[in-house]
Amino acid sequence: MNVDLANAWTRPGNPFTCENIDNQIIPGVQQLLAACRRNNHPVVHVTTCYQVADREDPHTDMGLWHCKIPVEAVPENRPELWAIDSRIEPIDGEQLLVKKRASAFHGTYLAGFLRAAGVDTILVTGVTASACVRETICDGLAEGFRTIAVEECIGDRIPGAVAWNLFDIDAKFGDVEKVERCVSYLDEVGSKVAAA
Per-residue pLDDT of 110-144, as tens digits, reads 999 999 999 999 999 999 999 999 999 999 999 99
CA neighbor of 114 nearest in space, from 132, 140, 76: 140
CA neighbor of 132 nearest in space, from 109, 155, 108, 115: 155
**How many CB atoms neighbour CB 195 within 10 A?**
6
What are the catalytic residues? 132
| Of 102 and 191, the one with more pLDDT | 102
Angstrom distance (rounded) from CA 123 to CA 147: 6
- Residue 60's pLDDT is 83
- Residue 70's pLDDT is 62
